[in-house]
Structure 1
Amino acid sequence: MSQRVSAARVAAAIDALTSSTTLGGLAQALCERAAEVTNIDEAVLVERSGGVDRQICRHPTNQSASPMSTGVTTSAEALLSSRQLTDLVTTVEISTTGPDVRLLIPGSLDPEQHDVVLLLADVASIVIDRLRAETDLAGQSARMQSLTDRMHALQQTLSGPLESSPDSNTSGFALAAGLLTDRERDILETLLSGASNAEIAVEYTLSIETVKTHVKHILRKMGASNRAELIARSG
């Protein structure tokens, strides 16, 4: 494994990881890209629980997806389905706030390849934590919307507005806005002024795709299905 690592492949791998929008998509991208940049074309991502390595994904995907028992030899057997069995398996830890996740690659890597795989693992760990945080925020947003709906329903049954919330729609909107990141709040303010994605991209020096992603996150966190509904809720 003495082939030089392609800088273009590394850049493409990082882009694929950072653009992942689901944990499953990220896991598959990590397996595929790690195998590609190391020129091995084989990798497995596993999660250890109760002393057993549970396979999350593998590349190529046409191999067995059954759970793997703990132990290097068994892991190597699972990895090297189309190769001569060897006890050399490179293991890279994926540091996250959740369960123990490891990337397994058959054979040994040269220093350059190892550094690149470590870089991809670090990028993946950041994206994993980001996606988990977004999932938590989505749950918080849904609960916040439920609370807003309950406040509105209660207000309808009373003779006057709730003392703690003169305008439940506006109050709920403000509470939901508190879940946004600083950049998302900036974009929300510009979006509410009627700016298009292209205008927002120019305003904040972002790509159109990045703006679309921010807008999608804003709509989800604010509990709105589209811009018109979001603007209407802003009061």
Structure 2
Amino acid sequence: MADAPHPEPHTDENTTDTDRAIADILAEMRTATSEHAVELGRRLVDLLDRRNALAATRTADIAAIAEGIDRAVHALDDAASSAELMRRACERAAELCSADKVVLSRLDGDRIIPVAAFSADPDTTPALPAGFGLPAGSPEARALETNTVTVGSQIPAELRETLGANGFTIVPVVVDGTAASLLHVGAVLDGSRRHALGVFAEVLGGHFERVGLESRRERQTALLRESARRWTGDDAPPSHGALDLAPSQADRDAAEQRLLEPLTEREAEVIRLILTGASNSAIAGELVITVDTVKSHVKRILRKLGATNRAELIAKYQSPAR
């Protein structure tokens, strides 16, 4: 797909034309007769007024776009899940770019998988098309190669029904340093709005990272709470003897609080390998770290999870079904 670069907005074109006309008049005035110089002066005043008006319009446009970016970013702040974040991203990108249709896709190797879409038509629910390959030389490929906002005219066949057929703008969304998704906007954007879309995509990538971390933290907390319940006797059968040896509620609360000190991502990787029975040397080789570093991680894991050694950790941390 060969796509010619899209021109800058008409305001920029008009400003350039006006500046060129002003320069021509100033050059002509150097050799003009007195009578002709008066006429050239009138034209020069008109052109200067026109340039000032264009500059004011440009400033107002930029201010409006900045406000749009601010609204779009704030709309992402309290998204509680990836699904909600994707839906809001499509809606706000459409508003920011004054576009009727937007499609957000995730990248799966060399395939593009649409995962969310927006249509400004309230009577239309956009259908998500099937995934499609990433053609070499396409606007999508160029956007990923350069990590920039790219304008295209030939929309992929799989997206035409959802996105329309009148040109589009695309930007990669980077998560943890890697392009993880693509945002297709069903409009050919000018320079200012392309810049705004790029800023929005950067912020969106940060929000995907945030939601992912929160999701992992919630899963980890749930696992630790379950372990705390098992280890503090919540699942043990009731005592039938005269002496009740079950831990008190205060003991349970204290143990659970100790167990809920969160593991780091590296510690989570280490404990995953410990539970497979891997040795410190094997763990070091798998994670490309030193054996001494593994030992340090193991000590912190044992302390956080309330185990005295690896055997106790494996026995208590693995679920009974494992």
Please, what TM-score do these two structures have when normalized by structure 1? Answer: 0.62
- Choose which of 210, 213, 216 in structure 2 pairs with 1:136: 216
Partner deviation per Cα, 1:195-221 (whole Å, 9 max, x = no partner): xxxxxxxxxxxxxxxxxxxxxxxxxxx
Larger Rg: 2
- Choose which of 65, 79, 97 in structure 2 pairs with 1:38: 97
Mapped partners of 1:105, 1:138: distance in 2: 33
2:262 is the alignment partner of 1:179: yes
Alignment correspondent of 1:95: 174
Alignment correspondent of 2:305: none
Change in CA separation of 1:9 and 1:79 when aligned onto 2, cut-off 3 Å: farther
2:112 is the alignment partner of 1:29: no
- Choose which of 181, 189, 201 in structure 2 pairs with 1:109: 189
Q: CA deviation at 1:40?
A: 1.6
Of stretches 2-11 and 38-47 in structure 1, the one that deviates more from structure 2 is 2-11
Determine if contact 1:94/1:101 at 8 Å carries over to the other structure. Answer: yes
What amino acid maps onto 2:174 in structure 1?
A: S
Determine if contact 1:76/1:89 at 8 Å carries over to the other structure. Answer: no
Listed as ranges, the matches of 1:1-235 within 5 Å are 4=61, 5-60=64-119, 62-70=125-133, 71=135, 73=154, 75=156, 78-79=159-160, 81=162, 83=164, 85-86=165-166, 88-97=167-176, 100-153=180-233, 167-176=251-260, 178-179=261-262
| Local SS of the residue matching 1:167 | helix
Mapped partners of 1:30, 1:52: distance in 2: 21
Q: CA deviation at 1:120?
A: 1.2
What amino acid maps onto 2:220 in structure 1?
A: Q
What amino acid maps onto 1:51 in structure 2?
A: D
Any stretches of 5+ residues in structure 2 without a counterpart? 1-8, 12-60, 139-153, 264-322
Q: CA deviation at 1:13?
A: 0.8
Q: CA deviation at 1:147?
A: 1.0
| Local SS of the residue matching 1:15 | helix
Mapped partners of 1:129, 1:107: distance in 2: 27
| Local SS of the residue matching 1:102 | strand
User: Of the two structures, which has the highest relative contact order with CA contacts closer than 8 Å and spacing of 6 or more?
Assistant: 1
| Local SS of the residue matching 1:91 | strand
Aligned-pair RMSD on alpha carbons? Answer: 3.2
Partner deviation per Cα, 1:30-49 (whole Å, 9 max, x = no partner): 11111111112211101122
Determine if contact 2:105/2:112 at 8 Å carries over to the other structure. Answer: yes
What amino acid maps onto 1:173 in structure 2?
A: Q
Q: CA deviation at 1:58?
A: 0.8
Determine if contact 1:68/1:78 at 8 Å carries over to the other structure. Answer: no
Partner deviation per Cα, 1:12-59 (whole Å, 9 max, x = no partner): 211111121111111111111111111122111011224321111111
Q: CA deviation at 1:155?
A: 11
| Identity across the alignment (%) | 20
Q: CA deviation at 1:75?
A: 2.9
Change in CA separation of 1:66 and 1:13 when aligned onto 2, cut-off 3 Å: same
What amino acid maps onto 1:109 in structure 2?
A: L
Please, what TM-score do these two structures have when normalized by structure 2? Answer: 0.47
Determine if contact 1:9/1:37 at 8 Å carries over to the other structure. Answer: yes
Q: CA deviation at 1:89?
A: 3.2
| Local SS of the residue matching 2:106 | strand
Determine if contact 2:113/2:130 at 8 Å carries over to the other structure. Answer: yes
Change in CA separation of 1:59 and 1:14 when aligned onto 2, cut-off 3 Å: same
Determine if contact 1:49/1:99 at 8 Å carries over to the other structure. Answer: no
Determine if contact 2:170/2:182 at 8 Å carries over to the other structure. Answer: yes
Change in CA separation of 1:69 and 1:2 when aligned onto 2, cut-off 3 Å: farther
Q: CA deviation at 1:77?
A: 5.5
| Local SS of the residue matching 1:101 | strand
Count of equivalent residues:
174
